[in-house]
Structures are given as C-alpha cells and as structure tokens.
Structure 1
Amino acid sequence: MAKYHVLIPSAGHGARMQSETPKQYLTLNGKPLLRHAVDVFEDMPEIASITIVIADKDAYWKPALLNDCHKTRVMSVGGETRAASVLNGLKAIAASIEADDWILVHDAARPGIDQVLINRLINAISDKEVGAILALPLADTLKRSDADALISETIPREKLWQAQTPQMFRHGQLKQALTTYLQRHPTDEAQAMEWMGHQPKLVLGDLKNMKITYPQDLTVVTALIQAAQIETATLSLSDTGNL
C-alpha cells in the first residue's frame, strides 16, 4: 500500500518579508513558522516521513529546531528556486520510498495547516487519480493592470481558485514532471503536472492556511489561528456538556 510522505522546501529567504531572518525561522506564538507545520504532520499516524529541504550552509538552521521530532529529517539540497528544491528533495529521498508513494509538498511559511485540512486532501482522491491540491475559490474581483498601474481588464472570478499547500502527487510522477519542466520555472507542483497533461483535483482549503509573504501577514495568520483554536475549544466544551 502506498505511503504518505511530506516534503517541505525551506531554502528560500522571502525578500518581501523585509526581514534579515528567512521567514521560515520567524516566530509565531513562540515557535518558528516551520515548526508549526512540522508538528502537525508529526502528530499524524498517516504520515510516514517528513523531509525538510534547506539551503546548503544555512546559517539559521539549528538541530534544536527539531527537538522531540521522530519522523523528520533535514537535507541540505536546496536549489535556486522552489521547484529545484522540491526536485532535489525528491531525488534525495528516492532510495527510501516507492515511486507510487504519495508526496505532500507543503510551504514552510503556511503555519495554519491542520489535520482536518490534510485529511480532507488525502481523502479527496482515489488511487486512480493523479493528485490534488488545497485551494480556495476566489472571492474578490480581479483586475489586470498596464505598465502604469491603470486597469486594463477585469477578469471574471468564476472557476478561479487560489492555490495552497499541501500539493499531493505520486513521487515518481512528480519527479518526472519537475525534471521535464524545471527550466520553465513552474510556480508550484501542480503547474508542472499540468504541463505533463494531468488534471490535479482542487480540494477546499482554508483562509488560515494562507502563506506568509509580507510582514503584516504574521498578524493576520496569528489571529486566524487563534480564532480557530477558540472555535475548536468551544466545540469541545459543547460536546462535553452534551455527554
């Protein structure tokens, strides 16, 4: 039976965060962004292994970042782009997993991921499907600008989705897609799979699973995570009272 493995590319710096420290190492609620995602996957028995791909000679990486982790390993094979880091990671773990095993690629800067979303993704696809990604239907009207930041076009938002992670595909197929199209610089794994002629499935994500890109995003994601925790605690108390 195919197993589930997690790959977290964490070799970038995130210049738009305007921080000397790479954003994956910035703290949220007392721990690095990277560790939030790792802890969620560590607690899931469905996940067989977790691999973090960091840049060679990453000065910010400390072994203590993985204290009490039992399924997580680190590989210093990061590339110049996200796609290169993912491909290098897939190659590095190839000897220890099967080609048909599922790989869940997750952004280190998405600390709002939870087990509900991960299980929703896993349960949404059958063994016959190519894979799936978490995503959100777009709610806002989209505008295309010209070179002077003047509106040149309004883009209908129907059937448009905002991609999130994890993005889940078979190890062998994803490695082949990224190898084939690496020089075209796919912005995510799904795009490489699309170029191979596949149609990944869209699975409903959640706003709190947004990617931290700008400084203000830390405040937004913190509030969303806290709100979700309060909601979960309230539901638990309600269930206890009904016993």
Structure 2
Amino acid sequence: MTNKAMTNDHMLIGIVIVAAGRGERAGSAEEGPKQYRPIGGRPVLSHTLKQFVTWPRSGPIVVVIHPEDRSLYDDATSGLHDPQRIIVTFGGATRQQSVLAGLQALSGTSATHVMIHDAARPFIDHWVLDRVATMLDSGAPAVLPVIPVTDTLKRGGNDGLVQETVSRTGLYAAQTPQSFRLSDILDAHAKAAASGRHDFTDDASIAEWAGLPVTLAEGSVDNIKLTVKRDMAMADEKLSRFVVPDVRTGNGYDVHQLEPGDGVTLCGVFIPHHLKLSGHSDADVALHALTDALLATCGAGDIGDHFPPTDMQWRGAASTIFLEHAAKLVRDRGGVITNADVSLIAEAPKIAPHRDQMRKNLADTLGITIDCCSVKATTNEKMGFVGRNEGIAAIATATVVYRRSVE
C-alpha cells in the first residue's frame, strides 16, 4: 500500500462498493444489471470504480457483486490500475446483507475506516471524497454526504389531496459514500442482522440506530444515483459530451517459410499449391500480421505473447482464433474496428481469384462490413527470399477508434 493512503496515526480508508443489485427499474432484464450497462462507452461500474482507484487516499477496495455476475464484473473492470488492491466478494438478497458481506471482507485488511458507496453513482468526484475524509480525520465516527432539499415538499393523503406543506428547513437528501470507523459500522451491521432488522434504507440509518452520531458533509448535485432508464440515457449523454475520438493505427508484419506441401492458407482461404507455409499453427501469415496490427492499437503485445508457439494446444490451429481474440481485446477496451488492410507479398499462388472470399472472411471475423476490408497482393520482382519462392510475407494495417474522456 502506498504511503499517501496513510494519514492521521495510520488511519487507512478502505472502500466498499455495493454492486450486487439487479437494477430492475433501469430497463429490461435482457439488458442486464444497470451497473454493467455502458454510459460514455464504458460500464457504469467502471466509471465508479475508477474514481476510487485514482483517489490518492483510497486503501483496499472491496466490490460486492451478485454471484452470477463474475464474468460481467471481469469485463467491466478490465484495464483498471492496481487490480491487486481490489477484493471481490458476493452479496446477499438485500443491500443491507451485501454491505455486511463487504464490511466483513474489508475487516481482513489493515483498513481502519470505510467509505460505503453505491456502484450506480458513477459521478462521485474526488472533492466530495476529500471533504468526507477531512471529517473522518477530525474524529467523526460517521460522515454522511448530503445536499439540501430545494423542492417544496407536500404530504398527501389517501384521497389524493394535499394534507400539508412540509417545511424543508433542515431537510437533506442522503448520498454515498457514507463513511465510518470500520469497527463501529461492522458492529452496528452485525447487531442489526442479529436482531432481525432488515428494513434500514442506508448505512447512516443503521449507525443512528446503533447510537453513533452522524456528521453531515457537503455532497454534490452531480453525485446522482442511476435508478431508472431515463437516468441511464441522461448519464450517457452527459459523458458523451466529454468524449473525443481517439483514432489509432496499428501495423503488423509476418513472414513464413515455404516448404513442399499441398497448399497455403491465407486470410482463412486454403489455396491448392505445390508448397505450404511452415508454422506452428496453420501458418496463415496474413491473419498473423493483422492480429499483431490490432493488438498494437491497444498496447496488448503481439501474437506470440497470447499464443506462444511453445504451447502445443495451438499446433495446427486456425489463425481465425487469434484474430478473433485480438478483436475481442480491442472491443473490451472500448475500441471500434473501422478498417483492416492486408498486403501479401508472394510470387505464387495467385491471390486475385480468392480476394473477395478473403475480404469476407476478415469482415465476418472482425464484425465489420466488407467494404472496410482490403486484401492486396504483389510480387517481389524475383528478388530476395520472396522472389526465390522461399517464403510469403504480409503487411497489415488496422484502424481502430477508441473513446476517451476529457478529464
């Protein structure tokens, strides 16, 4: 753990992010839980978690998820810094049970204090976190970020008529992260569970029930909780205004020797020939070059890092597997593949009769239209190893557009 996370007699602030809900009000079940739906090109949880991962004072982070959502969580959080700081645990049937599970997981770390935050509040900022932390520094056992209620409040009756106007003086809307001394809130949650109390609406109310004084801190009007489908749409629109295109071009080069055989595979097309390409897989030099080009756009190494030739499971494997893997890595990082271009350098066999099928194979594998795929071929004018029919080379270029927030 970094020293900057430690202040005030070794006070260490751990984080519990509650992400085990199902989010029924935010859309159809087919869309999945709201914390994994995209806003601004990334899942809600990714935005939320990033704010805590990058906050200088955050210590260990516990994310509480639904037992069925592990793959969704892994996809949503790929690429985040310091993954070793993040502990994943499973929640219960209610938010209260999920928070208790998160606190119990955090109690196994060196954290002395905890911030409990809703995954569906992706617009939390470091200024709010700093204000809450300052109050913890001063010795407050519980801190609640709030914003004053500004709307006029009415109490209605069963008859649909207004019974009275409620004074908004001293009324606040509660936000998260709600923050506490870890031992205090863990004890309060455990006592509430043991007593059969499962009706608390937030962690501050459990602290109040347990007799802990709760200090109010200034929250933020931007720190909204995404609840219904319209909230998701507004959040996506807000983030999209602060996204600039990030166009990246990757290049790949590969070469394979020719040896006696019955044909070569290029761009997924087998072409009968009196020679074949030598390689651990099917030796599709074109797809190998294009795989490297895609990996280059997101700094993911090269084909050998992901599919080492020393691994026997790839012996004779179709190179479309490699290209599909690279395309998925690009998409997982928010990239959109817009163009793929392959140039083959060979004296033989003839490529032109197979070009359209090659382009179709690229389009199908990458999930783009055929007009975004190009395959070309040229000879080496009898010069060098290509000119002597000793091998075939390929040069590939991939263009990918990523979304990048302006921060």
* TM-score category, normalised to shorter length: 0.7 to 0.9
Matched residue, 1:86 = 99
- CA offset digits 1:106-130 (Å, max 9, x no partner): 1000011111111111113334221
Query: In the superposition, relative to structure 1, how do residues 145 and 119 fare at CA in structure 2: closer, same or farther (>3 Å)?
Result: same
Structure 2 counterpart of 1:150, which letter? L
Whether 2:19 is the aligned partner of 1:6: answer no
Q: CA deviation at 1:215?
A: 1.2
- In structure 2, which of residues 67, 87, 91 is the aligned counterpart of residue 73 of structure 1? 87
Aligned residue for 2:46, secondary structure, equals helix
- In structure 2, which of residues 202, 211, 218 is the aligned counterpart of residue 188 of structure 1? 202
Computing the radius of gyration over CA atoms, which structure comes out larger, 1 or 2? 2
- In structure 2, which of residues 40, 56, 67 is the aligned counterpart of residue 45 of structure 1? 56
Structure 1 counterpart of 2:139, which letter? K
The alignment-based identity, stated in percent, is: 32
Q: CA deviation at 1:103?
A: 0.5
TM-score (ref. length: structure 2) = 0.52
Report the Cα distance in structure 1 between the residues aligned to 2:189 and 2:26, rounded to whole angstroms. Answer: 27
Matched residue, 2:37 = 26
The RMSD of aligned alpha carbons is 2.2
Contact 2:116 2:178 (8 Å CA) reproduced:
yes
Aligned residue for 2:67, secondary structure, equals coil
Aligned residue for 2:106, secondary structure, equals helix
Contact 2:154 2:165 (8 Å CA) reproduced:
yes
Aligned length, in residue pairs: 228
Whether 2:220 is the aligned partner of 1:206: answer yes
Q: CA deviation at 1:57?
A: 2.5
Contact 1:25 1:60 (8 Å CA) reproduced:
no
Q: CA deviation at 1:153?
A: 2.7
Matched residue, 1:217 = 231
Report the Cα distance in structure 1 between the residues aligned to 2:36 and 2:149, rounded to whole angstroms. Answer: 29
Structure 1 counterpart of 2:99, which letter? V
Matched residue, 2:187 = 176
Report the Cα distance in structure 1 between the residues aligned to 2:27 and 2:118, rounded to whole angstroms. Answer: 19
Report the Cα distance in structure 2 between the residues aligned to 1:226 and 1:159, rounded to whole angstroms. Answer: 36
Query: In the superposition, relative to structure 1, how do residues 60 and 15 fare at CA in structure 2: closer, same or farther (>3 Å)?
Result: farther
Which 10-residue stretch deviates more, 122-131 or 82-91? 122-131
Contact 2:89 2:101 (8 Å CA) reproduced:
no
TM-score (ref. length: structure 1) = 0.85
